[in-house]
Amino acid sequence: MDLSVDLAPRGKRSLTLANPVMTASGCFGNGLEFARIFDIQRLGGIASKGLTLRPRSGNAQLRVVETAGGMLNSIGLQNIGVEALIRDVAPIWEGWRVPVIVNIAGEAVEDYAELAARLDGVPGISGLELNISCPNVASGLEFGSEPAAAAEVTSAVLRQTTLPVLVKLTPNVTDIVPIARAVVEAGADALTVINTVSAMTIDAERRRPGLGWGSGGLSGPALKPIALRLVYRIAEANLGVPIIGCGGVSSGLDAIEYFMAGASAVQVGTATFLNPRAPLDVLEGIETWLRDHGIENLRDIIGTAQPLRLQAD
Ligand SMILES: Cc1cc2nc3c(=O)[nH]c(=O)nc-3n(C[C@H](O)[C@H](O)[C@H](O)COP(=O)(O)O)c2cc1C
């Protein structure tokens, strides 16, 4: 059975995953702890914890609360910073078979560009994923909420790196397709769809928002129908780059639905908090589903829920 997927078919460097199951950023740390729990080398890829230039300690507690069908977080990009990552973590990744894609974040275009420049050519790093759900200090809006800002950050990164570049889109916009189109025209190799949906809870006893930061990002099963639709819409726009579906994937069947909507790969996030082995369970579920349906090649189901005109392309 051929499960391999090329996430950068038009890139300067290829990014071939042995299978379409990745971990989602922020839900798998840098992979080091999970490596002690199961054979993470069987995964298709790992998206590391969001990385910034300088270390960050993150937002005030509470940073995670449960909601019906999902969870809400406002971690605030707690991370060790680029210097420690290159010094202490990348050398460990270098010994891994599974490709690691570093998720990067910043407050200004220059932050992303500098991160890309520093990570270029570092052994152990196979690609970059741009988290553009970050407030831009210049405009106060998220980079991912405006096509021009999203494209600018993508181009600035591509000028500094030969690594394949995935751009992770935010669902917190009126129309995601023009943003997807803008980053693809700017040179993005693939799109990760989606980051969390802005949301909040209220703690009635305290008469305050549940999260210390006030609002946060909704993830988990509640996200799946939202993300599926956005994957479907972007696939329908036929932008010519692979889509990585992300949002509420916890089983092989969830992943199959994303493939049918038009995704070439999936990321597993919140499910790992309940079951650390969830990404491998998803992979095994995909294999079982394909075998049960007599499908030898994953590519044969991608986009099959789309109208015939897309499948013919
Ligand atoms: C605790 C937590 C931390 C996250 N941190 C990041 C991050 O650093 N960078 C990023 O791009 N996405 C981050 N995300 C978003 C996830 O990667 C993913 O897009 C989202 O959770 C939807 O997938 P899921 O429903 O499978 O969790 C985080 C999500 C959670 C729950």
pLDDT beyond 80 at 117: yes
Compute, in angstroms, the gap from residue 26 CA to the centroid of ligand 1: 5
Q: CB atoms < 10 A from the CB of 273, how many?
A: 14
Whether the CB-CB separation of 303 and 235 falls below 8 Å is answered with yes
User: Is position 246 annotated as part of the catalytic site?
Assistant: no
Which residues have CB under 8 Å from 83's CB, separation 6+?
none
- At residue 309, the pLDDT reads 52
Whether the CB-CB separation of 3 and 297 falls below 8 Å is answered with no
Question: Per the structure block, which two tokens stand in for 108?
Answer: 């200004």
pLDDT beyond 90 at 186: yes
Question: Could you report the per-residue pLDDT of 3-17, keeping only the tens digit for each?
Answer: 999 999 987 778 999
Q: How far is CA 24 from CA 37, 139, 247, in A?
A: 17, 28, 9
Compute, in angstroms, the gap from residue 125 CA to the centroid of ligand 1: 20
Q: Whose CA is nearest to atom 31 of ligand 1?
A: 270
Question: Could you report the per-residue pLDDT of 225-247, keeping only the tens digit for each?
Answer: 999 999 999 999 999 999 999 99
Helices H / strands E in the chain, number of each: 10, 16
Whether the CB-CB separation of 132 and 86 falls below 8 Å is answered with no
Which residues have CB under 8 Å from 246's CB, separation 6+?
24, 168, 192, 193, 194, 195, 227, 266, 267, 269
**Tokens 């908090």 sit at which residue?**
273
Out of 134, 149, 153, 176, which one is annotated catalytic? 134
Compute, in angstroms, the gap from residue 75 CA to the centroid of ligand 1: 10
Q: Whose CA is nearest to atom 12 of ligand 1?
A: 25
Q: Whose CA is nearest to atom 29 of ligand 1?
A: 26
Q: What's phi and psi for 50, nearest 5 deg? A: -45, 125
Question: Is the whole-model pTM more than 0.85?
Answer: yes
**Tokens 């109208």 sit at which residue?**
307
Compute, in angstroms, the gap from residue 295 CA to the centroid of ligand 1: 31
The full 3-state SS of 225-249, as one line of letters, equals HHHHHHHHHHHHCCCCCCEEEECCC
Question: Could you report the per-residue pLDDT of 134-180, keeping only the tens digit for each?
Answer: 888 888 889 999 999 999 999 999 999 999 999 999 999 999 999 99
User: Which residue(s) pair with 102 in the sheet?
Assistant: 128
Ligand 1 site residues, Cβ closer than 6 angstroms: 24-27, 49-50, 73, 75, 77, 103, 131, 168, 195-196, 219-220, 223, 246-249, 268-271
- At residue 167, the pLDDT reads 98
Q: Which of 22, 23, 25 to mutate to test the pocket of ligand 1 (most atoms within 8 A of CB)?
A: 25
